[in-house]
Amino acid sequence: MFSPFLTDTEGLLLVEPRDSRIGSSIHMFFMRFDIGAVWINSAMKVVDRKMAYRWQSNLTPCAPARFILEIHPSQLNHFHIGDEISFEAV
């Protein structure tokens, strides 16, 4: 929120305590740009992906998720429901 823009190499990983639909929902209040949202469950599988437009109020995944990856919209097509994801320290 309140950031002026997001480059195509930037993103944000949000982590919830457990898989949940409601707990992993996101809002777009105060956003100045659209983002790609990717929801990942505890089994490290993509369970949903959506374009999140700055004018939308709320987005909820179609299945419970623990991780929400917020990325530049140009990167959204790199993720598909059912993909297995791994995180690496940088």
* pLDDT value of residue 90: 77
* pLDDT value of residue 28: 87
Instruction: Classify residue 90: in a domain, yes or no.
Output: no
Q: What is the pLDDT of residues 48-77, one digit of tens each?
A: 999 999 888 899 999 999 999 999 999 999
Instruction: Classify residue 4: in a domain, yes or no.
Output: no
Strand boundaries in 32-76, DSSP class E: 35-40, 46-52, 58-59, 65-71
Q: What is the pLDDT of residues 1-27, one digit of tens each?
A: 456 667 888 888 999 999 999 999 998
Distance CA 79, CA 89 (A): 20
* pLDDT value of residue 9: 86
Residue 88 has pLDDT above 70, yes or no: yes
Instruction: Classify residue 58: in a domain, yes or no.
Output: yes
Q: Please count the other Cβ atoms lying within 10 Å of the Cβ belonging to residue 49.
A: 21
Reported residue count of the chain is 90
Q: How many independent structural domains does the chain possess?
A: 1
Distance CA 49, CA 82 (A): 10
- Structural domain containing residue 31: 11-75
* pLDDT value of residue 55: 87
